[in-house]
Amino acid sequence: MSRFYSHVNTAKSILGTYSGQVPFSVFLKAFFAKEKKFGSRDRKNISSFCYSYFRLGYAFKEQSIDERLMTALFLSTDVSIEWLQKEKPEWVASIALSLKEKIRVIGLNLKTVFPFADELSQGIDLLQFNLSFLIQPDLFVRVRPGKMEAVETKLHNSQINFSRVNESCLAFANGTKLDDVLEINKEAVIQDLNSQRVAEFFPMKERQSWSVWDCCAASGGKAIMAHDYIAGMHLTVSDIRQTIIQNLHSRFKEAGIRQYKSFVADLVNPESLQSSLQDLKFDLIICDAPCSGSGTWSRTPEEMVFFKQEEITRYSNLQKSIATNTIRYLNKGGYLLYITCSVFKKENEEVVDFLQQAAGLELIKMELLKGYDVKADTMFSALFKL
């Protein structure tokens, strides 16, 4: 009981000093590096308490940190019954109820969790979407072609619980350690369910040879997926920093990808692109654009709490600029695959409208890939043809 109180008090101290300037995971790591008295279980519990607090979003904003943390722990599975008997005895009888029943007990208006409802893309179930912030998402893995039998055997032998989502996707409880069991990137790629579903937009059947540019390659998950699914692909990758490209080289090496070109460029700067690409043209440009990340906030709920609404317009303008600059390097009859992990229409449908009207692209298909009802991220994807 005393340890539980210690964890609660430490969580309150952390929450009172965190300002959102750096990712919360980075902030926690720095905190625990200084406070070496906390063991592994202590760190896990304290971190869990903090994330439960952030999952409330904007709900009960008028309450103190103490009150909100108490509410958050009641809604989660972390609460101590002894602690609850002392602090909120009227909730003790409800401790074993489902999440939805607990929400009714405390009188939580779900619509108050997410504060930017007017900005959402079309077709989002607002109540279900808000509920998703109170639930820890799953960990998803894309098993690479021909590796499923070996991967499942290793998981069974290591007694790791998982569920098979489809022919190439496995789901695990968040926090499951796989690095010592699977050959990550060679056998399987850590990749959210809807990030995997972006492959449904690949125009794979028209040609025997494809020149493909992943212009915002980041960690390379979609480039590895394109390598697995697009036959005859000649791959080029780029990003804004050399360190990103260096990490990409390491990941491609693990994935067995040897033949590709890479360069560093600022996609907002046409001169930077011109100096790198010259007269090169591509059959497919994958543009996983910088965005608010709002479709992933159930994984990083602190970002929802500290996000400024005016940032949505800034991201939208950035995305339009990047897309406009990159499509200059698209072959006639080539494709642009535009992707965000955002739930905001200004970053999604409005950019699609802009690219059709200002750039003359033909929209082939677009879809909001909803993850909020399956413990996954929500993505947006649109395929255009020039």
Q: Which residues are catalytic?
A: 341
Q: What one-character-per-residue DSSP string does 32-91 give?
A: HHH-TT--HHHHHHHHHHHHHHHTTTTTTTTS-HHHHHHHHHHHSS---HHHHHHH-GGG
Residue 266 in marked binding region: yes
Q: Is residue 279 helix, strand or coil?
A: coil
CA distance linking residue 339 with residue 319, whole number of Å: 10
Residue 42 in marked binding region: no
Token pair recorded at residue 15: 């929450």
157-181 burial, b at 16+ Cβ within 10 Å, e below that, comes to eeebebeebeebbbbbeeeeebeeb
Its sign, for the CA torsion 57, 63, 69, 72, is negative
What residues contact 374, with CB distance under 8 A and at least 6 apart?
193
Residue found by looking up tokens 């006639």 in the block:
332
CA distance linking residue 357 with residue 378, whole number of Å: 26
CA distance linking residue 144 with residue 286, whole number of Å: 20
Q: Which of 286, 364, 352 is nearest to 316 (CA)?
A: 352
Token pair recorded at residue 218: 């980041």
Residue 239 in marked binding region: yes
CA Rg value for the chain? 23
Residue ranges of the binding site for S-adenosyl-L-methionine: 239, 266, 288
